[in-house]
Amino acid sequence: MQSIKIMDEILANKIAAGEVVERCASVVKELVENSIDAGSTEIKVELKEAGTKEIKVIDNGKGMGKEDAVLAFSRHATSKINDEDDLYHLATLGFRGEALASIAAVSKVDLKTSEGEIGTHVVINGGKIKEVGQGDARKGTIITVSELFYNTPARLKHMKSLYTELASITDYMNKLALSRPDIRFTLSNNDNISLQTDGSGNQLKVIKSIHGSDVARKMIEVSGENDDYRITGYISKPEIHRSSRNNMVTIVNGRVVRNIDINRVVNDAYHSYKPDNRYPITVLNIEVDPSVIDVNIHPTKMDIKFSKKDTLLELIKSIVTDAISHRNLIPKADAVEPEFPKPKFENLTLELEREKPIITTDFYEAKAPVVEDNIVKEEIPYEVSSEPEVEDEIILTDDEETMPEMYPVGLVHGTYIICQNEKGMYIIDQHAAKERCNYEKFKKEMGKPNVASTALLFPIIIELSNNDFIILKENMQILRDLKFEIEEFGINSVIVKQHPAWLTGDTEYVIRKIIEIVIATRKDFDIEKFNEKVATMMSCKKAIKANTNITMEEMEALVSDLRKCKNPYNCPHGRPTTIFYSNYDLEKLFKRSGFDVIK
């Protein structure tokens, strides 16, 4: 008896939907990418209940004729590739021909499309065509997907909360808007607009729409190229960072992709400029010959393989490193203007006239929800003036000046050094500043090939657990190469008789810590990372502690040493060393700016 049978097409589409349609965001992704491939310049995504009830995508693309509109829902039906060679020269976001068939198999779909003359209206329920007729002649496509997973209860049961689904869709639309700043995107949920871009082609304006003006002004423009790759985009100053890698966006030939190696290289370039558990905001556009990459790895097309990946990673690292080096990265303190009570007027009518708000328009625009770590916070809509905002033109400051010269004038709480120059006031954390100076000193000393050693007057005996002792025995040569004289001494113990000359202070504590680092990093040992950990640990140990009063001469010496550092702006852990208040900020705080004040 024959047991192998060819699957029914609807069943096959439902199975395929398990890979292509994971959640509401998957549907939005596939539909919007189809709109982009259709040459749309304006795309609207309208959701009801975060897409769980309805997803509608409206575009002004080239549209489809009747035959194409019906055929588009067949599996492996596509207009984007014709033969095998096209796979190596992909110029579109979609190409598999699986998305519409998979979506239609697990939802109810209503399609209205036209090439500008006679329109077509197609209705499909659960993969079965229910109606094909004439529709509006408006050029473009309107596709509505409702009751997603209504016929697959198991998938419906595992849908996340409305806020989680909305956050996922918003996150993807944000990234898509960054990849195509030339397209005007609008995203709304229950008629509340959460994303709106102007399609001007200015990527920095899209960054402003997503992250706000303050972040947009603190982005650094980057660019560079080699024989295979060209990179442009924006990276945030080290003071701007987030708790997840989600804001590190990589775009390859207009396609938003995920790549762990690229994120790692970018994050490593920020090392010691920010805390290790925080991540920058970046948007990197990579342009490359399509034959050098492979996007046909996963149905979502988010993963990608690069040829000559090493050259790409080297280029990215150099671009990011150069962008944040040799630049004044001192965070500017936000001078918050204090609120004062409004004066009372004798004439109540005059007071009401002065207090009456000026409304220039009679409509409201909803502000985009802030999405941070997949939590969406709705904000109250605000009034929109008919006058153009000054903030529309975002000016990036090109802070090429490094740490400026400044002069100490005092110490606060034995912790913060107050300095000044003609530009304003600087507050320096003496512990963080000394940490940075120590760190760069130790890194330099440890990098010397012929390090001098110092004999211990009293050898140090260190007892270990039997497991750690075995690991240390295997890696004893690492310490000897660093000019430690170390030998076995009895059961599960070692004796240290000499240490490198750069090791000073509480030598026993530091030696024990170094041995702990060797044991912890026994696998894939990297001397550069080892030196990094040791230098960071020692710099903190030998730094000036908080609540320690130092003399004016010591302050001047510390500030002078800090200005000589390669990165004087952060301690090795990424905390800022210096905060800046401009003269204008100080005057604003004390209500001196804008008034005729006797100085």
pLDDT at position 470, please? 87
Range of the domain at 482: 452-501+505-541
Going by C-alpha positions, the residue among 525, 464, 542 that lies closest to residue 496 is: 464
Of 289, 324, 359, which residue sits at a domain end?
A: 324
Q: Could you tell me the sign of the dihedral formed by the alpha carbons of 269, 274, 279, 285, in that order?
A: negative
Structural domains of the chain, count:
3
Global pTM reads: 0.73
Instruction: Give the residues across from 485 on adjacent strands.
Output: 498
Residue 576 forms part of a structural domain = no
Residue 372 forms part of a structural domain = no
Tokens of 85: 């060679």
For residue 92, what are the CA distances in angstroms to 108, 296, 366, 597?
26, 12, 32, 63
Residue 518 contacts residue 472 (beta carbons within 8 Å): yes
Same domain for 85 and 184, yes or no, is: yes
Same domain for 150 and 283, yes or no, is: no
Residues 6+ apart with CB under 8 A from 134: 118, 119, 120, 121
* 357: Cα within 13 Å, side-chain hemisphere: 7
DSSP letter for 576, please: B
Q: How far apart are CA 599 and CA 596, in angstroms?
A: 9
Same domain for 278 and 185, yes or no, is: no
Same domain for 172 and 52, yes or no, is: yes
CATH number at residue 281: 3.30.230.10
Same domain for 121 and 181, yes or no, is: yes
Residue 359 forms part of a structural domain = no
DSSP letter for 353, please: H
Same domain for 281 and 133, yes or no, is: no
Residue 443 forms part of a structural domain = no
Same domain for 152 and 228, yes or no, is: no
Residue 361 forms part of a structural domain = no
pLDDT at position 446, please? 76
Of 273, 298, 324, which residue sits at a domain end?
A: 324
For residue 321, what are the CA distances in angstroms to 212, 213, 282, 388, 582?
25, 24, 13, 36, 27
CATH number at residue 109: 3.30.565.10
Please report, in tens digits, the pLDDT of each residue of the chain (599 residues total): 555 555 555 555 544 444 557 788 889 998 998 899 889 999 999 999 999 899 999 999 989 888 888 888 876 556 554 545 544 555 566 555 577 888 888 889 999 999 888 899 999 998 888 989 988 888 999 999 998 887 777 666 667 788 888 999 999 999 999 999 999 999 999 999 999 999 999 999 999 999 999 899 999 999 999 999 999 999 999 999 998 899 999 999 888 888 899 999 999 999 889 888 899 999 999 999 887 877 655 555 566 778 888 999 999 999 999 999 878 888 887 655 545 444 444 443 444 344 443 333 333 333 344 444 444 444 333 333 333 343 455 656 555 567 889 999 999 999 999 999 999 999 999 999 999 999 988 888 777 656 678 888 889 999 988 888 888 888 888 888 888 899 999 888 999 999 888 787 778 888 888 888 888 876 666 777 777 888 888 888 888 888 899 999 999 999 999 999 989 999 998 899 999 999 988 988 888 866 555 55
Same domain for 143 and 54, yes or no, is: yes
Q: Could you tell me the sign of the dihedral formed by the alpha carbons of 323, 328, 329, 332, in that order?
A: negative
Burial-class residue 4 by CB neighbours within 10 Å (0-12, 13-18, 19+). exposed
Same domain for 272 and 311, yes or no, is: yes
How many CB atoms are closer than 10 A to CB 261? 13
DSSP letter for 255, please: E
Same domain for 26 and 168, yes or no, is: yes
Residue 3 forms part of a structural domain = no
Same domain for 181 and 33, yes or no, is: yes
Of 521, 541, 561, which residue sits at a domain end?
A: 541
Give the β-pairing of 424-429 and 578-582. antiparallel
CATH number at residue 479: 3.30.1370.100
CA of residue 440 relative to chain centroid, distance: 28
Same domain for 141 and 229, yes or no, is: no
pLDDT at position 290, please? 81
Q: How far apart are CA 252 and CA 229, in angstroms?
A: 10
Residue 568 forms part of a structural domain = no
Beta-strand (E) ranges in 336-396? 364-365, 370-372, 375-377, 382-383
Going by C-alpha positions, the residue among 496, 503, 500 that lies closest to residue 542 is: 503
pLDDT at position 384, please? 36
> Nearest 5°: phi and psi at 114?
-160, 145
Residue 277 forms part of a structural domain = yes
